[in-house]
Structure 1
Amino acid sequence: MRIKINHLFYLLSFIIAIQSCSQKESIPTLEIGNTDKLNKVLDYYVEEDFYPFVYARLEDLDGNVIYEHSAINKDLLPNTKIDGDTWIRIWSMSKIVTISVVLDLIEDGILKINDPVSKYIPEFKNLKVAVSNDGSILTEYEWNEKENVCPVKFVTNDSVMTVLHLINHQAGFYYATTGFSCIDSLIAEQNLPMAKDSDDLINKMSNLPLIQNSGTDYFYGTNTTVLGLVAERATGKKLNQLVEERVTGPMKIKGLQYKLPANEKLLPKFTGRDSTLRQAKRGELDIFGPDVPDYDSNHQLYLGGEGMVATADGYADFVRMLLKRGELNDYRFLERATVEDIYSPHTQKDSPYGYNGYNLWISGDSMKIKKQGEAGLWIGGGYECTYFWADPKRNFVGIIMSQNNEVREPGYELNDKFRGALYEQIWAIEEENEKNK
């Protein structure tokens, strides 16, 4: 185990723990009320063909399952069992894992948050920025204005890209879904998920322009993928090895990793893009262009922003680590102050719906007003409708797993409807308990 704090602190902590052991208060078990009502919410979205399946799971701070339910479309997935141990493509739910690894490296002095990215990836030192022919920054255009912007020209990046820019999605990287056809086609041509390894990926990305000057604004994209590459270059280790050595191994998390375990098979890819739920064809999940990560154990490429697979049980363990402020199963992974920084305001601070921490959305008062939850929830999700949240007030985590891209309306209301039904019952029970005191 790595020692991060001095022996005196350990001694003092040990003494305090002994003195306070008998005084420690147990956290009351969360009461959620009528589970049938929650089941019906999930069942509806599967029965109406919005999703091929939905699995939801709630765990308390100690990992006890408070609630779980699985709804499966038997026509699309016959003879299929889906539960907390089913392996799922989690896409952008990989990002917070990669960010946590990098923050751990920063704690250990291996990286600094304001280090230039070019210190580790010199191939990116001279990346250009795409602008319109009149010199306008592309991120300033509204969606309906984008089709007339191409062709674009390339100019010099006017700032130094840093590790912090990558963490905050301010570096200028993007997906093949910007709406600028001349930009999207460039990234699609590189077919990034099919790079043979990290060096090949870096070479491919070095041929692409940025969509904005680094540090300009928040723009969601492959910034965390590059962050994973920085971690690899800084340590000389592959990202999967860093996750195993620093996260899942010492905290005894099973069900969160790169590459699919042997003898396991992933669920099919589905889409509702033409208003009919069906299996997706190649290229319809177009976040990178023609292809998506293959999760092949022989493919030595680890995408820090998109490439992990997980079970609901395993991912809940990781989120519980955040709720426990950096510690799980008697192992301290991150210092408490580091985790507090993860859920502190960093970007999108003027949003009426909350703010963004380090790729962790913190809900605002609007969620309570809309009866979908309440302020202060930590929220994240992935490209194929995976979703999680943590409630730091009641110390529980929620996981909702599915695999679908482009859900037809109003299918995207699933998470809000389920969370709203859950909190409606929680609030009623808490109000009744308060009256009976």
Structure 2
Amino acid sequence: MEYTTQMEAARKGVVTREMEIVARKEGMDAEGLRKLMAEGKVVIPANKNHKSLDACGIGQGLRTKINVNLGVSNDCCNVEGELEKARLAVELGADAIMDLSCYGKTEEFRRRLVEMSPAAVGTVPVYDAVGFYEKELREITASEFLGLVEKHARDGVDFMTIHAAINRETAARFKKGERLTDIVSRGGSLLFAWMEMNDQENPFYEYYDEILDICREYDVTISLGDACRPGSVKDATDSSQIQELIVMGELAKRAWEKDVQVMIEGPGHMPLNEIASNMLLEKKLCHGAPFYVLGPLVTDIAPGYDHITAAIGGALAAASGADFLCYVTPAEHLRLPTLDDVKEGIIASRIAAHAADIAKGVPGARRWDDEMSAARRSLDWERMFELALDPEKARRYREESLPQDKSTCTMCGKMCAVRNMNQVMGGNTGGGR
């Protein structure tokens, strides 16, 4: 049976090759996965032109996935350096990589990333506009914005952030508010500025049907961007954020009418006590579509440690229903991340995702922890290193401080509770020798 998108196939009762791959990875029934995709509750971002892709599913009942942001900027335009970060991200288990390049002719990096990456690749076409057309922002036309959406789709991008929900009504509500940090979304701020300078509707909203036609042709998943995401804990859950979320729900239904897959992007910065209710609100207003969150960062005072603030919020968000976490590095709010920053961000995000999967009861999530606990009980150090999220760091820490009794560590030595319990439970009561 013929189909154009993964969602259309799912609705026609077809289990695609990508669905089979995802079902096998998740340890679930392929038919059950197909039904969730038909309902829009799971997406498989899989552009027809991304030939190196190893398909990955995002959504209800699946493992929480993580995304890594990369890309060149005006001050740091090193394509090879960003590709090295991409290779590291794949090696460390990232499920998706977003190219957030915002300077010059970005297509070289984007095309090379798509060519080499088995992880899904995402972009934000509006970032590319000023550099690609070599124009001032206000001079770029609606058709030129749409032309970049088609170009990115043709280049093999699997999902695109489209800030379509900041329409004139949403913008008017934002202007009536009293935000501490205004609009902190780069794409959202660009489109808000374009709308204000030209006194026109957001072209991504006005010509949304044309964007859907492009996405349908290449099977690009739309990630509805949250231009009004809170950039401080004070601004969380305000009227602008909720107004935009309502519009996102409407846009999600319009995408599904054309069999285009959709994710919803969310906050941002948010106090711990508001996270669970925000996840519920998104799922209600956006009809169960997969939810993709940046953090959320649960405090604003930790520059240099925002991978930790984001991991705290991300774990709670995912345990409460979020499906996809965007990593945050220690360099957030400060500079472009280095390789070491990328690693720290990925590890923190993977910890948050896995902790949430245990809480959600995702099949198989606890098995990994149980195996680690069994290795610790046996004082099997090699097995512990094999199971560690970061084996290199775990092994290095142990080798930097070796104990006299090699079965223990230098924290407790012969007073090691595990060692002593093993002896006692094994019938050896000879004084802990």
Q: TM-score, normalised by structure 2?
A: 0.26
Structure with more relative contact order (C-alpha pairs < 8 Å, separation 6 or more)? 1
Looking at CA atoms only, which structure, 1 or 2, has the larger radius of gyration?
2
Which has more strand, going by share of residues? 1
